[in-house]
Amino acid sequence: MSILQVKTEIDRKAQEEISKIIESTKIESEKIFAEAAAKAEALRIKKTKALERELDAQEKTELATSRMNRKAELLRLKSGLCDSVFEEAKKRIVQIAKDSGQEYRELLSKLTLEGIAALNGKRFVVQANSADAETIRKELKAIQEKAAKIKSDNVVIRTETLPNATSGGVVVSVEDGTQSYNNLLEARFSAATRNLTGEVYKILFGEEKE
């Protein structure tokens, strides 16, 4: 075989080897790219699902928050309506006290007798604002007679004017000051508010207060 033929044969084999290398490299590259693409797709799916879970959780949180906010707003509205009922009732009671009509005079007597019945003893001090104290003095004889029946004994009652202004009602104390019974309108109204709030809710909204 001549030198030229040898050279030609070497070149041919070299070219074949290069082609094989290129082909092998191509196949390997495609394999690498395919694996990389698969990994990228798996990562994309993983991140997409994670994002979907995050968005779903966020949506649920926002929905729960929205529901809580609406519920809180509804509770505030209901509470405000309930308060307005009591406020209107308070205004009417205060106006009745200011008018000092027969209805209120009877109420003062009942408040006084209730205090006397709740306390021990036979000698009592009834404190009220100046207008109510004057009304009680005018009704004192009748009040004492009723109190005597309650205590089954003679009862002594004297009146005093409260140093601080009040809407009305009385504070009844035994003469030595060891016991007292707060029957001022403010105290009665406060107690009524606590006791009747549930009932007012039921009347207004057809449900119990939460």
Pairing of strands 180-184, 169-174: antiparallel
Residue 133 vs residue 56, higher pLDDT:
133
125: tokens are: 């001090």
pLDDT of residue 90: 77
Question: Which stretches of 1-128 are assigned E, i.e. beta strand?
Answer: 123-128
CB 123 within 8 A of CB 175: yes
**How distant, in Å, are the alpha carbons of 100, 107, 140, 174 from that of 188?**
18, 12, 22, 20
Q: What is the pLDDT of residues 60-97, one digit of tens each?
A: 777 777 777 777 777 777 777 777 777 877 787 778 77
pLDDT of residue 118: 94
Dihedral sign from CA coordinates of 8, 14, 18, 21: positive
pLDDT of residue 159: 94
pLDDT of residue 186: 87
Backbone angles phi, psi at 165, to 5 degrees: -70, 145
